[in-house]
Structure 1
């Protein structure tokens, strides 16, 4: 299943934010910041990436179960693929 870029614009925003967080984490490590601060920021970046992944899957599911595709063989296959992707993030 292919998703359009405009359907995922908020995902791109989340990923850019996570990209900035990861850059900040690298700087924190290089400057010798406290372990607790580094781990806190790493956890925040990890959650941002997870949320982006879940949003992609949710968008795909929404598209998959839309009225015009419901019951089609492709919709069932796409739904199974999205379920598998969801489980990789869980």
Structure 2
């Protein structure tokens, strides 16, 4: 279930997230170029690691924003909504850990 209310927790940092994601997008394009140019595999793996760390930073920021905004707001609204938001956050964290 997705929160359809405006003002998600990350909105205050939206531009920072977009900047990070654009940087990651550029890194992925760079990876494609490296493979096309048949560059050394270790160099490619080093760049894959950088992209992975960038995505992990975005993920952790979103988790923190969700907990600090959406879950807190739901807790104030009542038990059922709070339980749903905690379940939702737990499932998202579990997916991140499996990736």
Alignment TM-score > 0.5, same fold: yes
**Distance in 2 (alpha carbons) for counterparts of 1:5 and 1:62:** 10
Residue 26 of structure 1 deviates from its aligned partner by: 0.5
Q: Tell whether 2:45 aligns with 1:61.
A: no
Gaps of 5+ in 1: none
Report how far residue 48 of structure 1 moved: 0.8
How is 1:14-33 mapped onto 2 (pairs within 5 angstroms)? 14-33=20-39
Moved over 4 A (4+): none
Q: Which runs of 5+ in 2 are unaligned?
A: none
TM-score, structure 1 as length reference? 0.83
1:78 aligns with 2:85: yes
Deviations 1:51-81 (A, max 9, x none): 2112111111001125x84361212211211
